[in-house]
Amino acid sequence: MNTKRVVIGAVLVVWVIATVLAQHPDDNNSRVRRLARHLGSFWIPNWKFFAPNPGIDDYILYYRTGDSGSDTWNEWRRLFQVKEPQFWEMFYSPTSRRDKGVLDIVTTLEIMGDSDAFGAAREAYCNLLVDFVRVNMAPTGEPFFQAMVVRGAGHETSIPPAYEIVLDPRPVQFSEEVHRD
């Protein structure tokens, strides 16, 4: 038998076993996970994105502008309009990082729930979402805006959207006290 084939086969078997052990939630595999962190995900991939809570929904940001004092609001508007994907976006899509960031923030807010233990952290994540909407929304002459997160099923139109989070109205302008240069 060829020695080169045996070595390559042994390395492949060790790699597959290390990859499977690194995915397993059992604490007995902590050494393999430490090795994976040390070597990087190129050598031992991390496939935990698919379980236990995979990202199967799209979170879409909406906003509306108006005056919270008189309770007069305009219609809800989608923050980023849907556009037909380009062929090259299959290989490089700069907006996918933006969408992933929104997904991470909303998922974290869902995990926190309404628990008082996460009060400050929850407020920080909500402020992050609000500031993201404030910076990216269309210019308006209205003094206030309100943001909303809607869960959708992507291109699947037979599933109705679910209204996840409606944030409190905020001023359109950044507060000088909070945001200093």
Q: 47-101, pLDDT tens digit by residue?
A: 655 555 566 678 889 999 998 777 889 999 989 887 777 888 777 877 777 887 8
What CA–CA distance (Å, rounded) separates 58 from 152?
A: 5
Percent of the chain surpassing pLDDT 90: 22
Tokens of 83: 């556009």
With cut-offs at 50, 70 and 90, classify the pLDDT of residue 180: very low
Q: Of residues 143 and 1, which shows the higher confidence score? A: 143
Which residues, in sequence order, are CB contacts of 57 under 8 Å at separation 6+? Answer: 151, 152, 153, 154
- The percent of the chain in helix, strand and coil, each rounded to the nearest 5, is 45, 15, 40
Question: What global pTM score does this model have?
Answer: 0.63
